[in-house]
Amino acid sequence: MHGIPHWIVFTIGFAAQFFFAGRTLFQWLYSERKREVTSPSAYWGLSVIGAFLMFVYGVMRDDFSIILGQFISYFVYLWNLDAKGLWKKFSPVLKALLVLTPFIAVGLLLHDAKSFVANMFQNEDIPLWLVIFGSAGQIIFTLRFVYQWFYSHRRHESVLPRGFWIISLIGSGVIVAYGIFRKDPVLILGQSFGFVAYVRNLMLGFKKDNEYAKT
């Protein structure tokens, strides 16, 4: 962990999961209130903060799968902020900071390519097969946001479709398994919390469909 005390590393990781859990809880409660699956603006704002912290956590843990997952989904979060009309309210400086930060971070990671490969793919603590397994889980989990972006982009509005929650369940299950192999409490606790919300959103979606079918 680059000589950084474990408690600092895990504090950052749990802080990231705090924001992710907050977005999930807020979206869930907001949807319960509306009695249908919703995509509140706060969900995406909290996502951006959580992704930034989780990216830092992934770097500190030399965990390529975490870094990969956060990098991809980060820009989907920004698109949804724009779809919600919030992006235009940000100052030019803040916009530039939000867009450029991930690229600057990746650039810093890759400035010593040999060290990067050694830390991420030749790490004795994380066998290559586990890197591949964890990355697969992150890719599946991240695809939910790619799917959500594609679905929302076609409708010109930010929505959370049923497929988003199905992919969430599958990806989350793989990440929990990966977290168990890695003995990573941040991943295990963070992903386990989401299961209930994912299932509940699916139930709300099916209930709404049944109501439409009866009318």
35 part of a folded domain: yes
pLDDT at 160: 92
Computed over every residue of the chain, the mean pLDDT equals 86
1 part of a folded domain: no
Q: Which residue has the higher pLDDT, 215 or 210?
A: 210
pLDDT at 208: 75
Site of tokens 């996502």: 47
Provide mean pLDDT across the span 33-62.
Answer: 90
201 part of a folded domain: yes
| 52: amino acid identity, one letter | F
> Phi and psi of 88, rounded to 5°?
-70, -15
pLDDT at 184: 87
What gap in Å lies between CA 186 and CA 12, rounded to an integer?
9
pLDDT at 11: 93
pLDDT value at 30 more than 80: yes
Confidence class of residue 85 from pLDDT cuts 50, 70 and 90?
very high
22 part of a folded domain: yes
Provide mean pLDDT across the span 166-195.
Answer: 88
What gap in Å lies between CA 74 and CA 41, rounded to an integer?
15
38 part of a folded domain: yes
Provide mean pLDDT across the span 111-115.
Answer: 74
215 part of a folded domain: no
What gap in Å lies between CA 184 and CA 147, rounded to an integer?
27
Quote the domain boundaries for residue 96: 6-210
pLDDT at 195: 85
Counting the structural domains of the chain, the total is: 1
pLDDT at 109: 75
Confidence class of residue 122 from pLDDT cuts 50, 70 and 90?
low
- Read off the tokens for 13: 């990781």
Burial classification of residue 180, based on how many CB atoms lie within 10 Å of its CB (0-12 exposed, 13-18 middle, 19 or more buried)? exposed
pLDDT at 119: 64
What gap in Å lies between CA 57 and CA 10, rounded to an integer?
8
pLDDT at 165: 94
pLDDT value at 163 more than 90: yes
Confidence class of residue 116 from pLDDT cuts 50, 70 and 90?
low
3-state secondary structure of 160: coil
pTM of the predicted structure, to 2 decimals: 0.81
> Phi and psi of 73, rounded to 5°?
-70, -25
